[in-house]
Structure 1
Amino acid sequence: MKKIYNSWFLITLVLMTLSCQDDFEEINTNSVDPTSTSVDPVFLLNSAIINTSFSNAQLIYDMGVVQQIVSPNSGVLTGANYNQDNRDVTDDHWVKYYENVIKNTGDILGQLEQEGAPSRPNLKNITRLVKALTFMILTDEYGDIPYFEAGKGIYDQIVLPKYDAQEAIYKDLIKEVREAVAGLNASAMVETGEVMYAGDTGKWRRFGNSLLLRVGMHLSEVDPALAEEIVREAFAAGVMRGNEDNYVVRHDNNYLNDNGALLNATEANNIYLVDTFVDYLLETEDPRLGALAIRYTNATSGPDQIQENGSTAAVDQIGMPMGYDNGTIGAVAENMGLASFYAFSQIDRYRVVRQAAPMFIITHAQTQLLLAEAAVRGWVSGNPADYYNTGIRAHMELMVQYHVDSEIPAADINSYLTNNPFNPADAMQQIGTQYWVACFLNGPEAFANFRRTGYPILTPNPYPSQDITGDFINRLTYPNSEVATNTSNLNEAVSRMGTDDLNTKVWWDK
């Protein structure tokens, strides 16, 4: 009897062991691991694309430096309004892009490399383009940054990446964009699940060439020969052809526009359009002012700023001057005959910065204006005036994408172009100033182009207590988290680039 029992026990044990072996891989596979092959990496790509929209640092720094918006308030809104360092804000771009874009694109590329997946070249190369776009924004904002070792925490276990010189970053960005565009293949698997262009390789190729054009133009002062080479190449390959090619992040109630979320909540009553920007649009009778702005003409407090009390008429708009705080701006408003400083013009949060408003990152309008500058320099063929007018028209025509009530009639566009013709004798200033307008709500690019070209011509912010020694902020400071945890790598970058403050210039800023 004992022998029979032992035999049955051994048979049962063998069967259980075989069963466990059959189930072992399934049981021990994390089905929700984003690096697992069970998860389509296109979902990580979509998360990366959505998070290329700008953080709130652009409201407090980038757009403040170029004098498009300002707040009289301190605390969390301290930044370009006072030309002061506020590392609770300067880290916003860094944290959002590294944690949500660079990490995800790095994971995708690591997974594809691990799998050896030649069947999805379009996924790989679209990912490379999104990654390149994001790194360009990051290095333009901060200077030297983690680049070659960044985004490799999962597959290479690099948690404290070294910082790379901006010159090396830019040269590798050129290589990455070139290779990614060349690697797009209309005959390969179409990545229809991606949220930007639904896998349309033609649009991704034109986006990549437009990105390459922007990279080239950023080098115009530091390396004109290389800049010309890159610009010619991008132009010949074919850039964006219309607003349907725009790289625009479309938000919804699940994926909110960060700027819209802020301006419709805690800071709804605290951020205003700068008089420099408003006055320029008024003087040229630019219809974009009525599409972008709102003024609560009789507001004496924040609660008075409701849509029913607002005017979007251009003639009613009054911008807030720079150089004041919440202790001094009230007297300025009173001297101007306003009910209070709450009666200065704001970005219209009911249209342009709704919580679900789109965010335009690279556009046909901006691309055409860069081509206008390139044509003036003799780097591309074509009439600068044609590129200039096409760029302005394209930007005015996309206003309707913010909201139907922001649509600019064709007749108004035609009238504006007739009354504000391109003047070859003043070409660079005109183009640079129009680029400033076309980059409204694209603070990082407006900030970059202002440093590169010096346009528009701005009077320095006169606020009395500042953390800068020159006229304007030149870069954003590194996050405190990097100062504390990646100290040695950060210090190496600082020793190479210059002091970690708002004064130090990035490599291409000559």
Structure 2
Amino acid sequence: MKKYIYSVFTLVVLLATPGCKDEFFDINENPNNPTEGSISPQLLLPTTLHVTAGRMATEYDWAAHWMGYWARSGSYGPSLPLENYNITAEYQRTQWTNASTSDQINLTGWYNNLFDINQMETKAAASGQTFYQAIGKTMKSIGFMYLVDEYNNVPYSEAFNINEHILPKYDNGADIYASLLAELDAAATLLASVDVAANPGIETADIMFQGDPVKWRKLVNTQRLKLLIHQSQVVSEATVAAEIAKITADGSGFLMSGETAAVNPGYAPSTGRQNPFWNAYKLTPQGGVADNFNRANNYILDKLASNGDVRYEYYFSEAPTPIQGNLYYGYNFGEILPSSDPYKAVNSSDVAGPGLAKSPTQSQWLFTSVESLFLQAEAIQRGWLPGDPKAAFESAVRESFTWLGVTDAAASADAYLAQENDLVDYDAATDKVRFIATQKYLSLVGINNFEAWVDYRRLGIPSDLPLSLNPGRAGRGIPKRLVYPQDEYSYNAANVGTQGTIDPQTSTVFWDK
């Protein structure tokens, strides 16, 4: 039973420094023996923000492979079940709980981090610190959204009430989404009248917006829209109208151009303190190559390069030791290369190009302005928001070029948009929602691999995405969801058993129609 408590509710996070290395976020004079009373919202907030951003940026390389962004380099043999889609209860189990396998940045599972977030929100509510409380509700909506999008039904209403529900029931994914929207409503209400001074240390503890309630309100509205967009194929018109009315009434708008939500607790080029993306995919603190496994996928590399899209030079790096002048060289996902193949990791393009990995001290994006503008463009196209959908689409594309730091970004984006091809010609597109989502897919390479998997499941884009070439695929397609982790079947068998037999090939998330 003790093992179950640790694996599902992660009480261990209250018995050690939450989330990161001791030197990063000391929450007590003795970080190995903190007391319940010493853990305040001010001390929990920076850790939870760092872990959330780090998870979103580095824990979804598998989605990047499935979505045609990345592939295994020639220095490695086949990787299963990544490449044959034979997903079991052991695969990606740390999405649920437990620390990641990273030896530099300790990023706990979603339930670990959500436990801390819930503690922060609860303590803030009890002490009248409504800013921290609102942030807790907002961050909880992000974490549980990811869990639902990965597993569908998950423990939610009983997830953290250990005294009464040591074996939590599973809540319906659609009901959780509805509750998350309600939580965001409450967060928006709290932020609209927040007294910043009544929230000790918020300007420092908030390593994302430095205690700016307006920016948090924009994030709340953008997250609201994201929840609606994910449900686009199943959500009712009444729900959309009601939520959009709340966003409009709030008056703060969304995250716009140049308003990426990004965290920085003081990243530095030393062990345990580097920017998570840089640390995972670029260089170690000692200057060594951090990642020789993940490389550019030929699918996305060819799609960008063949359509006059220079962004591949910013998503990926030039090969350190190119062969036959192939500065940008990728691989086919799942392909088994002969040992005689000359192309290895050093001869191919890594996934931490200059537009993504700028320095070990850079802020870690959590919700980019690029994704926000594409969400708005789709919402305008659907008639949910007022505006010109073509102009919104083009603004989102331009923001992608700017965000990546493309040389002469404005002119490069204009030249790209001026082409008459299926990827950029808005007027010629027959299904404009999928057209916008396709360009969103091209704009999130390595930035939000998970969102690409969401859009693939809800809209079927990109429609020409190739399946793995691994010969053991045995007819399986890209998984529709993950399997609950083995710990749940071992220690919460009755409740997980109510979910029936899970088959990642046929079992779907509620919004996947």
State the partner residue of 1:211. Answer: 223
Which structure 2 residues correspond to residues 72-471 of structure 1 after superposition, within 5 A? 77-85=79-87, 89-95=91-97, 96-113=108-125, 116-118=126-128, 120-153=129-162, 156=163, 158-190=165-197, 191-193=202-204, 194-226=206-238, 228-229=240-241, 232-233=244-245, 236=248, 237=250, 238-250=252-264, 252-253=267-268, 254-263=272-281, 264=283, 268-296=291-319, 298=321, 316-325=327-336, 328=337, 334=341, 339-340=343-344, 342-348=346-352, 352-353=356-357, 356-400=361-405, 409-419=409-419, 420-423=424-427, 425-426=429-430, 427-440=432-445, 441-457=447-463, 458-466=465-473, 470-471=476-477
State the partner residue of 1:15. Answer: none
Cα offsets for 1:217-267 (capped at 9, x unmatched): 111112242563256336524432434432223372344444543334686
With 218-227 and 351-360 compared, the bigger mean Cα shift is at: 351-360
Cα distance between partner residues in 2 of 1:82 and 1:357: 35
**TM-score w.r.t. structure 2 length?**
0.78
Cα distance between partner residues in 1 of 2:190 and 2:141: 15
State the partner residue of 2:12. Answer: none
Aligned-CA RMSD value: 3.2
Cα distance between partner residues in 1 of 2:262 and 2:132: 19
Cα offsets for 1:326-382 (capped at 9, x unmatched): xx2556xx5xxx645653322136763465554433222212212222222222211
Letter in 1 for 2:316: A
Cα distance between partner residues in 1 of 2:509 and 2:229: 15
Please report how far the alpha carbon of residue 487 of structure 1 lies from its aligned counterpart in structure 2 after TM superposition: 2.0
Cα distance between partner residues in 1 of 2:29 and 2:316: 50
Cα distance between partner residues in 1 of 2:361 and 2:489: 34
Please report how far the alpha carbon of residue 184 of structure 1 lies from its aligned counterpart in structure 2 after TM superposition: 0.7
Q: What count of residue pairs does the alignment treat as equivalent?
A: 448
* 8 Å contact kept, 1:294–1:348: yes
Change in 2 beyond 3 A, CA 1:499/1:350: same
Change in 2 beyond 3 A, CA 1:171/1:35: farther
State the partner residue of 2:14. Answer: none
Cα distance between partner residues in 2 of 1:91 and 1:192: 35
State the partner residue of 2:22. Answer: none
Percent identity between matched residues is 21
State the partner residue of 2:21. Answer: none
Change in 2 beyond 3 A, CA 1:75/1:233: farther
Change in 2 beyond 3 A, CA 1:330/1:222: farther
Change in 2 beyond 3 A, CA 1:256/1:243: farther
Letter in 2 for 1:323: G
* 8 Å contact kept, 1:361–1:442: no
**Partner SS state of residue 52, structure 2:** coil
Change in 2 beyond 3 A, CA 1:157/1:408: farther
Letter in 1 for 2:264: R
Cα distance between partner residues in 2 of 1:459 and 1:340: 22
Cα offsets for 1:472-494 (capped at 9, x unmatched): 111122222222222222222x2
Cα distance between partner residues in 2 of 1:281 and 1:504: 32
Please report how far the alpha carbon of residue 408 of structure 1 lies from its aligned counterpart in structure 2 after TM superposition: 5.3
With 377-386 and 458-467 compared, the bigger mean Cα shift is at: 458-467
Change in 2 beyond 3 A, CA 1:351/1:220: closer
* 8 Å contact kept, 1:122–1:183: yes
Change in 2 beyond 3 A, CA 1:227/1:319: farther
Structure number having the greater helix percentage: 1
Change in 2 beyond 3 A, CA 1:206/1:35: farther
Cα offsets for 1:276-321 (capped at 9, x unmatched): 1111211222232111212326458xxxxxxxx9x9xxx8323311
Cα distance between partner residues in 1 of 2:53 and 2:120: 19
Change in 2 beyond 3 A, CA 1:208/1:77: farther
State the partner residue of 1:472. Answer: 478
* 8 Å contact kept, 1:139–1:145: yes
* 8 Å contact kept, 1:422–1:430: yes
Cα distance between partner residues in 1 of 2:214 and 2:375: 21
Gaps of 5+ in 1: 1-28, 301-308, 401-405
* 8 Å contact kept, 2:277–2:364: no
Please report how far the alpha carbon of residue 201 of structure 1 lies from its aligned counterpart in structure 2 after TM superposition: 0.7
